[in-house]
Amino acid sequence: MAKQTVLTSERSFADLVENANIEIKKKERLVGRTSRELQRHFDDYEAEILIANYFRGAPCMYTFLSNGMVSPTRVTKQLYVSIGNSEAMADYLLKKFNLPSTLTGVGHAIALYTINEVIQAKDTFCYYPIQGSHVCPRPPDSDTGESTAMLFDSGDIANELKPVTMASHNIESQLKRGMWAACLAFVEMMEIQSSALQTEIKRLKQELDERQHD
């Protein structure tokens, strides 16, 4: 559906998820189950979906529950959202960072750290290997409404986690120094040529220097 659709509004991509869910349910109803069996099937295969894309240079983030009867819900007034059975623990960890912006590289590194910590807490539904990705505006023109997504395999994730975990064994004391340094190193490693990103990198370096002199 996405390949054949032009984004005309901030909801266009999220609406595709709802439409796809409707089409899947239509096909499942043709299998020949009773109404009770059908409902049990939808409950057993319920999915919570996080939807993210850029529209005219602005980030759009939605959540969607496959068993729900409402349109995807827009996430507003916060920089992140956690989904899944461990969302409460993930939110607890993410609140410690108090990030001032949605810088892609820093967000990606912190997401990897958070997932790793959830697994280390022996959550029975979360396990290795970690799979990660991020979405950013398509450079150099971010006003077209186009987005680009990057998916990293488990080998890449393992390598990316090393500098983050090394700097965050004691997260309470390292947040202001080690974790920021690790995130900054990750951002520079990405080598994304974007004027907005380069500006953020300079700001982060300046803030890191100020924190280290405190």
Q: Answer whether 118's CB lies under 8 Å from 82's CB.
A: no
pLDDT at 193 (0 to 100): 45
Q: Pick the range with the lowest mean pLDDT from 61-75, 127-141, 165-179.
A: 165-179
- The string of pLDDT tens digits covering residues 115-165 is 888 888 876 678 888 888 878 777 655 556 577 777 777 777 777 776 666
| Bigger pLDDT: 102 vs 166 | 166
- Is the pLDDT at 200 greater than 70, yes or no? no
Specify the pTM. 0.68
> Shortest CA distance to 119 belongs to which of 90, 94, 140, 147?
90
Helix (H), strand (E), coil (C) string for 36-94: HHHHHHHHHCCCEEEEEEEECCEEEEEEEECCCCCCCEECCCCCCCCCCCCHHHHHHHH
Residue whose token pair is 């912190």: 110
**Would you tell me how many other CB atoms lie within 10 Å of the CB of residue 60?**
22
State the chain's mean pLDDT as an integer: 76
pLDDT at 62 (0 to 100): 93
Predicted confidence band of residue 85 (pLDDT cuts 50, 70, 90): confident
* 32: CB partners within 8 A, 6+ apart: none
Domain ranges of the chain: 1-77, 84-214
